[in-house]
Amino acid sequence: MMEFSAWMSAIQARTEDALARFLPPASTAPASLHEAMRYSVLGGGKRVRPLLCHAAGEICAADPASLDAPACAAELIHAYSLVHDDLPCMDDDVLRRGKPTCHVEFGQATALLVGDALQTLAFQVLAENGGTPAMMAQLAHAAGSRGMAGGQAIDLAAVGKALSVADLEFMHIHKTGALIRAAVLLGAHAGQVDEASLADLGRFAGRVGLLFQVVDDILDAEASTATLGKTAGKDAMQHKPTYVSLLGIAEAKRKAAELRADAKLALARFGMRARRLGELTDYIAERNF
């Protein structure tokens, strides 16, 4: 079996190809919008959601070709959320994936439209490439006001407030967890899956989603802007509650270790078929960018 790093590179490369294919060419009118959309999606990003989608699909014997659409749909939703999140009225950030953010490069109005059109494209890609209404409903639920967008609203309301760890967890389950969960479950739905396996994959995704966020908070506190490719230390600067600010760095690391172990436990029924999801869990836990 392929080494994890080779598998990861292969999935990242096929995702990049698929995204480049699904995005309208920069030569198509309106060229300025399409150029900005491609700028915001291509040539960067860890592609964590596509990796999770493909790894979950492998468990369920999905044809890899059938996984490109759900993987890219999840990534396009993620990319749109970053573009809108970076806008001055939200996080007001100038750096993303080591490049100027979309609104810095193309202006706020275009960045607004880029995010809007990337969200639309996510549903279009799924609808035109084998996605069922149930899969589209799942993606929509994860992205919408009871998922990711809702999590951002909770985040907005939380700035400067005293949050409990439970409140913080509630926010992250929505803000990042819902889409990560959808990426895993969409991958599973592209193959054959029974209810019990779905339940375990859902539990796995819940743990991995929180793990991702705890590690993010630790990195924001410890890593440098150059390593992250985005502005480091922002959470503290903006007085945003994080796992680190609420728990301290040592306890946040203990929490991450616990989530990592729990995530792997949820994969028990799949045995070696869950190898990639297990490796991805380690990768998410150990990443330093």
Contacting positions for a second copy (CB under 8 A)? 24, 28-30, 32-34, 37, 80-81, 84, 87, 89-90, 107-110, 112-113, 115-117, 119-121, 123-124, 126-128, 131-134, 136-137, 140-141, 143-146, 149-150, 152-154, 156-157
Q: Which is nearer to a second copy, 37 or 62 (CB)?
A: 37
Shortest Cβ 119–a second copy spacing (Å): 6
Contact at 8 Å (CB) between 240 and 91?
no
Q: Which is nearer to a second copy, 106 or 204 (CB)?
A: 106
Find the radius of gyration of the CA atoms of the chain: 18
Q: Which is nearer to a second copy, 85 or 222 (CB)?
A: 85
Instruction: Count Cα atoms within 13 angstroms, Cβ side, for 197.
Output: 19
Shortest Cβ 82–a second copy spacing (Å): 12
Shortest Cβ 278–a second copy spacing (Å): 32
Shortest Cβ 240–a second copy spacing (Å): 14
Shortest Cβ 158–a second copy spacing (Å): 10
Q: Which is nearer to a second copy, 178 or 211 (CB)?
A: 178
Q: Which is nearer to a second copy, 140 or 221 (CB)?
A: 140
Q: Which is nearer to a second copy, 40 or 281 (CB)?
A: 40
Contacts of 98 by beta carbon, 8 Å cutoff, 6+ apart: 44, 229
Nearest alpha-carbon partner for 187 in 78, 52, 87, 89: 52
Shortest Cβ 238–a second copy spacing (Å): 13
* Beta-bridge mates of residue 95: 100
Shortest Cβ 162–a second copy spacing (Å): 18
Q: Which is nearer to a second copy, 155 or 217 (CB)?
A: 155
